[in-house]
Structure 1
Amino acid sequence: MCELLAMSANTPTDLCFSFTGLTRRGGETGPHKDGWGVTFYEGKGVRSFHDPDPSASSRIAEVVQTHPIKSEVAICHIRQANVGDICLANTHPFIRELWGQYWVFAHNGQLSDFQAEPGFYEPVGTTDSEALFCDMLNHLRQHCHRGDPAETLVEHLVELANNYARQGVFNLLLSNGERLFTYCTTKMASITRRAPFGPARLKDTDVTVDFESETTPDDIVSVIVTEPLTTDEKWDIYQPGEWRLWRKGEVVLSGGR
């Protein structure tokens, strides 16, 4: 299986600390050596990095770790391939435009027999994940409209996610840059950091950060992952079937438990 990482914050924030921990699992402390990718929202645009090589030894990953790209929403994925070749086209996160927004998707799990309905969006690669993403967007494009409230979109997303989960493992990160939708069938955890901030130590490498020196008292930063990244913080564990919609670091809708 793959591993996921996402961030939702109320102010532009870099992902360097969490990303450094996750990349160690890409071929060093974990088996997820079949490529990685990360996408940062910057306004309406996205800055995206993909590499089919292991993240633990990737020179591109080194750049992302040391270059503080600030974003309110970011999505990251490290891959352990089970469907599709190891190549750039099969590397998450996947990106498509819908209603004048970039939608970004990353998936952990496997629906090996999944067949997407024909539609406007088609996969470029050969993963079940990208086929799922295209299927979701085709459904939204057909059944929803530009400007629909978040509650309407989430109702459709939850219905789709529940259906996919009945067919296999479906842990999901999906964002349009304004909100971040997360869905868990097996493993997912989150942490929300806010004042008073303190230090944190990564589990996978000897790195500690003092968030108090890196933040302001008004900052709210939430991190969502497959497995907790730090050893000295209390993470909130999702339950199977649980979903949460995040905006500016806070959960604004949730359900499914």
Structure 2
Amino acid sequence: MNACARDRRGGSPTTVVFDDATRTDDERRAIASTVDTSHTAFVDTSDGVLPVVRFFTSEGELQNCGHGTIAAQAVLLPPDATQHHGHQRTGGRTVAVTVTRRRNGIEVWFEQGVIALRDRAEPASAAIISALGLTRGDIAADDLRVASPGTPRLLVPVREPRTLSALRPDFARLAAECRRLGYLGCFAYALSPTAGPATARMFAPAIGVDEDIVNANSVGCLAAHLLDTSRNSDIEVHQGDALGRPSSVFATATQTRDGIVSRIGGLVHHLTISRTA
């Protein structure tokens, strides 16, 4: 699947595997390390009601994966259906999804759930900023946040889009710092000075993905941060351009009694099916 495509181009190549209950986690990780995609979604439909979706990279299992959810739900849409409202079970919680067949692909929206936000003290993040190849003057320090929809990641606001485009992180250092601080990775972004799309890049070498083409969950985290700081949370974020895979993710955040929740959307434009014995 090419998840979160932009104008029928690009998107993040994502493998979706219909799971076998006898398969071990070591086997799932081995499959994830051999396919030519950064993430693999394993879908178990054995109970016939609520699909269970698990996500693996070459390093192991992830608690959740935004673009993996979008890819999995596009695969699950029946060939004769135009729309589906349903749920999937992932990471111990039930996720609401809406899937719609469009002329330009399959559009998927899902509820991300409550997002925990906290400020990041500069001394703890200075090494990460350096490993990214940024200086203190390149970032808007007041917007530096840790956001977690289940797994924490650092949101890094870059002042200039051209600085973001030119980033060449030290991945070994970045992986070590993210592991030390317990982060999935770093979501570096630049907001548009107008009402146009933001741009972003996600670096997650600690989980075996130096640069992620798309990280939809981090877009939901950004929407939550914008709402929390009294800004417009209805956003489109362009990713993947640095890797030649133009991609778009949409998100909006809402304040609830339980906290800030985000809803995330993306378009799948290509599906290739392979069946093996």
TM-score (normalised: structure 2): 0.29
TM-score (normalised: structure 1): 0.30
